[in-house]
Structure 1
Amino acid sequence: MPLWAVLLQGHGTRTAPVVALLSEGCGPPGMMAGMRAVVQRVDGARVEVAGETVGEIVGEGLCVLVGVTHEDTREKAAQLARKLWSVRILQGEKSCSDTSAPLLVISQFTLYGDARKGRRPTWNAAAPGPVAEPLVDEVVAQLRALGAHVETGRFGASMQVSLTNDGPFTVLVEV
């Protein structure tokens, strides 16, 4: 079974970090294109801009960093929202839809950084702000339409994110 299709060792334990790749296409990382999210199971998270808290979740939930590329669409945003709402990575193999756990959604163009050459990453694969912002907003709107409690960062701002990663448990989702 390919590495990207399974959870790594340590699933279900409190001692080993867990990283997984959940993808609609399930191919090797680097060969996939689409809207991307780094999802962390947290026991509380907040995002601040200029010292002001702009989004915060308390207790169990998901902190989601969302990256958008040039080919992404509103349909992909809706697909990502459905995946985030239903992915069963909370305690007891539950999802946010099962437990009404909140999500903190933060835009992060650096998920499309490419550092394979040279010493400085390129951001060519990241969608520009006028393309990315409405799609991140669409992910949030779709989550809320599904019944999710969603807090957000501020698009384009310099943000400070604080969280307690529970597990730690981090998943890369790509649609």
Structure 2
Amino acid sequence: MKHLRRLPHLILACSLASIAGFAASSAWAQTLDTSFSCSDIRKEDGDGERVNYADQGKIKLDGDKIKAFQWESSLFRSTHGFDCSIDENDGAQAEVTDKGWRITLKNAMAARAARGYDTERGNVCSIRLERNGDELQIKPTCAVLCGSRNNFTALTVNTKTGSCHYDE
């Protein structure tokens, strides 16, 4: 009979352990495997100049482990162009968030210097990947790997089809 009195406490302890284990495993089990290739032509505000955007990438994440991460983002004007690129060799690291992931660089300034950029563009690189069903919104704040350009282009990718569109 004494064992039955402890039963509710045992059930509660097991339930809490199961919930904690599930929460931890669901964060670690979060995976992403997608590729994309996008382009768009827009008119710039102010002068009405045509600007071509082109992006291609491959992202493969398993929890906070980067299996593959490569993204090239270009912006072309009639007289010149700018390019941003990042890959796992830049010291990219992943953090699981409540909406997806946050990709940062271990040492953004060293990655910039390794690419041969000799002017300061900031020392922050963060790319948020937020999943909503089949849609993956890519929100960059990573001018450090963009040479003279302000930033990578924000876009949304359909992870099933690979189709994408540029965010305004």
The structure with the greater share of residues assigned to strand is 2
TM-score calculated relative to the size of structure 1? 0.28
Structure with greater contact order relative to length (CA < 8 Å, sep ≥ 6): 1
Mark the structure with the bigger radius of gyration. Answer: 2
TM-score calculated relative to the size of structure 2? 0.29
